[in-house]
Structure 1
Amino acid sequence: MKKFDAIIIGSGQAGTPLAFRLADEGMQVLMVEKNTVGGTCVNSGCTPTKTYVASARRMWDVFHAEELGVSLSGKPKADLQKIKQRKDGIVSESVHGIETGFRDNPNITFVKGEASFVSPYEIKVSDTIYTAPKIFINVGARALVPEEYREADYLTNESVLELTELPQHLLIIGGSYIGLEFGQLFKRFGSEVTIIERSAQIINREDEDVSQSIRESLESDGVKFLTNVQNIAASGKTGEIQVTYEQDGKAHTVSGTHLLLAIGRVPNTDLLNLEAATIATDKRGYIRVNDYCETNVEGVFALGDCNGKGAFTHTAYNDFEVVASYLFEGKKRKISDRIMTYGLFVDPPLGRAGMTKKEALEKGLKVREAYIEMKQIRRAVEKGETKGFIRMLVNDRDQLIGAAVLGVGGDEIISGILNLMVSDIPYTALRDTMVLHPTVSELIPTALGKLKEIN
């Protein structure tokens, strides 16, 4: 048995910074990783997908150049092999940086392998037992693959990034964040794309007008949607994929060359033998934690996607900050303090913070709304990107409680609104601020000056 001050299982966006923080505090840290270091974000999430999104945007720019008076000759073509090579290079650079950091730190021991619990404070990797009074679980999640799709050749968010040739017709099961991002970028690359969604509305958690506007944007790119369908199943090999479904009581079939499953995610906790450690999970397999990411076993923490408190890189990193504060900074941070924020990186992007309009009304809150369409904003007009709108919600105490910025720059603009929400400052501080012209965000104070009651 080998003893450490702390064991971290998983080198994702919570586990990696935590390893360096614990090492800086003088602790001897064991880092265990069964795959490539960096977790989902670096290897199959944010970094590679946003690299692809950037290439897809360049395709859009070329195809729409004439609208801004720029003449181009010849037909542009996406070279997926070169796009992938660029992605691989960016990912490799990040991975190398993390590996070097682990290797060069005298207080960090890195072990490659799959960890499983032997007891609450002991894990096994290969044939070696390791023990520590503090253990941190950061094992992430993987793509959900329901039984009805397993007879077909299918892609996930990971394997689709390994393609070197464009699919002729990509069928995507799931009309939420992952499916929409891949759908738009592959359509812009030149594939035919059909997105199949059980619900009548894509990204069902969003307000209806947000979802509809995003759908219209993707449809303007040529993406096809099949929504409000039931009994979906798939069969066939790559090149000859068939998806069957029912709609309005009738059976239908759509054929394609490739199938991407973007239905949801499941935590990797089933690989850890948590029963041996008496670590509690919910019915979906997410590890139950308190406000400081600590499990029901004292000294054992769960961070990132596997604790069910957020499915984003920024929530994982915030989990690290919460745990570091708990251990070394007097418990100044906790999960319940954070305001949820996220983005959908289609084009135009969506930046979201706090409640949706639907959530606020369901809670029975008295809410006023600021709303302005992008086509009313001159900078958006000048850019030739007028799709979308900005919505902000203000409660009866003059606090901003929710915002959606759907449009050019929305993924960046939302952080400024979030900062005001976190600071608990009245919305009037933003309304009365002189802002930079010409920008997309300059119309936010104007919109806040015209609040309307909503029911």
Structure 2
Amino acid sequence: MEDELDLIVIGWGKGGKTLAGNMARAGQRVAIIEASAEMYGGTCINIGCVPTKALIHDAEVRADTGFDHEYFDTAVQRRDKLTAMMRAKNFSMLDGLDAVMTITGRASFIGPRRIRIEAGAETLELGARRIIINTGAVPAIPDLDGARIGGRIHDSTTLQHAPLPRSLVVVGGGYVGTEFASMFAHFGSKVTVLDRGARALKKEDEDVAAEVLSALADVGVEVRVGASVQRIRQDADSAKVSYNQGGQMHEIEADAVLIALGRTPATGGLNLEAAGIELTATGAVKVDERLSTTAEGVYAMGDVNGGPQFTYVSLDDNRIVADAILGTGKRSTADRVAVPHTIFTTPPLARVGLSEETARAQGLRIKVAVKKVAEIAAMPRPKIVGDARGIIKVVVDADSDRVLGAALMHVDSQEVINLVALAMRQGVPSAALRDSIFTHPSSTEALNEVLGSFTR
């Protein structure tokens, strides 16, 4: 086949699959290529957001707090059934369109806007007016003695199907490590987190991070800071992690080890240089504000382009590229403000915008409203559902009364943060949120009280 296609999408992630469907419905001839049939639909529904949150839910609702591998196995089966259903739906949504060719195989560039696809012994060459690189990211594995995924050593993907460990060491106290530590502790594992920083969750204000760490301690998670891992070993019976803490070497033994040190753009095997596509210093595909790469007609969307690694950002990438292809070409990443995110600890921590520490470091004139959830009289919902832990902290510009950022750790925070983010995008003053009418009993109504009590 020669250059008869309008669009080729490499990778089935959120942005790519959405763009492929929309372009096909707009009359364009599209091919979408996925390396594995187990990844139709992308990372989120197969190994990321959806399956991990399904496991977290099942971990939270179980009545017993002891170790129960049978319960975990049942939760994994539900997880697998859910992802299989969503994977099949995602495939059919594109495969059912006459203008879309769905291909399972590994794609690599062989020239400008030309790719080769290998599927076993078969190969196929395709060309298109535009190509989208949408290959996502993979867990980052450090150059560390023994840090190889396999056996008792896991990344965030493989641990989801490992036998439930009685003891688990998590290397990394960031967002992924914290979330998995909370999850497995709720399943009954004894969890130890090793973080090389002075404190875990270093991007959060100290009082907010303290609330998360307190919730982890409630389920027995031990966090060891200033712990620089030097070596990982495993045998038939256990895994051992050696680390330096305060100038002294220590060793901890566990049934399993999770390496949770972030994710890195998945560009291996794409042969990007054949198309003149450059990478950034961090290994991401280099793009401009409209997600164009250094090769004409080639775009990069989602985690592979080095932007925030969230499914909803990938979806917004789709909007930018769609506007470039069919619209005005004015949309860009510069349009994005107040992008929220959530760590699904128990209860979840949701954040948007600036922290207090960051705002003060920037020399901004701010006022801060902060209250622990247990002290908020006008927020009965957490008490109703039996978990009144957490904190609400809002950073506001002292002159304009515009919200600059918020950290919410409480029941339903993953929902409430979207309202705060919308208010930030629309320039709504904190007083308007303070005086808004919210349903009762809800978690949102806490804003009435918290935003009426600035403490500093």
The TM tier, using the shorter chain, reads over 0.9
Give the aligned partner of residue 371 of structure 2: 372
Give the aligned partner of residue 172 of structure 2: 174
Render the CA deviation track for 1:271-324: whole Å, top value 9, x for unaligned: 211111111211111012122111122221100001111101111111112212
Opposite residue 160 of structure 1, the aligned amino acid is L
> Secondary structure at the residue paired with 1:166?
coil
Residue 101 of structure 1 and its aligned partner are, at CA, apart by 1.7
Following superposition of structure 1 onto structure 2, how do residues 48-447 of structure 1 map, counting pairs within 5 Å? 48-59=51-62, 62-63=63-64, 79-126=71-118, 127-148=123-144, 149-150=146-147, 153=151, 154-163=153-162, 165-237=163-235, 239-338=237-336, 339-378=338-377, 379=380, 380-395=382-397, 396-447=399-450
Contact 2:168 2:190 in 1 (8 A): yes
Render the CA deviation track for 1:384-420: whole Å, top value 9, x for unaligned: 3221111111112221111111111111111111111
How far apart are the structure 2 equivalents of 1:87 and 1:17?
24
For normalisation by structure 1, the TM-score amounts to 0.93
Contact 2:10 2:33 in 1 (8 A): yes
Opposite residue 217 of structure 1, the aligned amino acid is A
- Please provide the CA RMSD for this pair: 1.8
How far apart are the structure 1 equivalents of 2:94 and 2:450?
49
How far apart are the structure 2 equivalents of 1:405 and 1:159?
30
How far apart are the structure 1 equivalents of 2:213 and 2:70?
23
Opposite residue 160 of structure 2, the aligned amino acid is L
Residue 367 of structure 1 and its aligned partner are, at CA, apart by 1.1
How far apart are the structure 2 equivalents of 1:113 and 1:300?
20
Which moves more between the two structures, 21-30 or 188-197? 188-197
How far apart are the structure 2 equivalents of 1:100 and 1:343?
30
Residue 77 of structure 1 and its aligned partner are, at CA, apart by 7.0
Q: Which ranges of structure 1 fall in alignment gaps of 5 or more residues?
A: 65-73
Which moves more between the two structures, 389-398 or 17-26? 389-398
Contact 2:68 2:188 in 1 (8 A): no
Opposite residue 131 of structure 2, the aligned amino acid is I
How far apart are the structure 1 equivalents of 2:203 and 2:81?
35
Which moves more between the two structures, 331-340 or 181-190? 331-340
> Secondary structure at the residue paired with 2:14?
coil
Residue 194 of structure 1 and its aligned partner are, at CA, apart by 1.2
Render the CA deviation track for 1:16-37: whole Å, top value 9, x for unaligned: 1111011011000010110221
Opposite residue 88 of structure 1, the aligned amino acid is D
Contact 1:142 1:268 in 2 (8 A): yes
Render the CA deviation track for 1:97-131: whole Å, top value 9, x for unaligned: 01112221100001111111111211111232211
Using a 3 Å threshold, how does the CA distance of structure 1 residues 57 and 7 change in structure 2: closer, same or farther? same
How far apart are the structure 2 equivalents of 1:331 and 1:417?
29
Residue 256 of structure 1 and its aligned partner are, at CA, apart by 0.7
How far apart are the structure 2 equivalents of 1:423 and 1:365?
20
Q: Which runs of 4+ in 1 moved over 6 A?
A: 74-77
Render the CA deviation track for 1:62-116: whole Å, top value 9, x for unaligned: 259xxxxxxxxx9977522211110011000111001112221100001111111
> Secondary structure at the residue paired with 1:263?
coil
Opposite residue 294 of structure 1, the aligned amino acid is S
Contact 1:195 1:223 in 2 (8 A): yes
How far apart are the structure 1 equivalents of 2:375 and 2:327?
47
Opposite residue 9 of structure 2, the aligned amino acid is I
Render the CA deviation track for 1:414-439: whole Å, top value 9, x for unaligned: 11111111112222221221222322
How far apart are the structure 1 equivalents of 2:229 and 2:440?
52
Which moves more between the two structures, 278-287 or 7-16? 278-287
How far apart are the structure 2 equivalents of 1:343 and 1:332?
29
Residue 54 of structure 1 and its aligned partner are, at CA, apart by 0.5
Contact 1:238 1:258 in 2 (8 A): no
How far apart are the structure 1 equivalents of 2:85 and 2:24?
23
How far apart are the structure 1 equivalents of 2:59 and 2:418?
24
How high is the sequence identity, in percent, across the aligned residues?
31
Contact 1:141 1:268 in 2 (8 A): yes
> Secondary structure at the residue paired with 2:154?
coil
Render the CA deviation track for 1:175-222: whole Å, top value 9, x for unaligned: 111111211111111211111111121122121222221111111101
Render the CA deviation track for 1:30-50: whole Å, top value 9, x for unaligned: 101102211110111001100
How far apart are the structure 2 equivalents of 1:246 and 1:75?
30
How far apart are the structure 2 equivalents of 1:238 and 1:365?
56
How far apart are the structure 2 equivalents of 1:180 and 1:392?
22
How far apart are the structure 2 equivalents of 1:187 and 1:75?
9
Opposite residue 389 of structure 2, the aligned amino acid is K
Which moves more between the two structures, 147-156 or 176-185? 147-156
Give the aligned partner of residue 69 of structure 1: none
For normalisation by structure 2, the TM-score amounts to 0.92
Give the aligned partner of residue 70 of structure 1: none
Contact 1:287 1:295 in 2 (8 A): yes
> Secondary structure at the residue paired with 2:350?
strand
Number of aligned residues: 441
Contact 1:78 1:190 in 2 (8 A): no
Contact 1:239 1:256 in 2 (8 A): no
> Secondary structure at the residue paired with 1:371?
strand
Opposite residue 85 of structure 2, the aligned amino acid is E
> Secondary structure at the residue paired with 2:393?
strand
How far apart are the structure 2 equivalents of 1:156 and 1:273?
26
Which moves more between the two structures, 423-432 or 172-181? 423-432
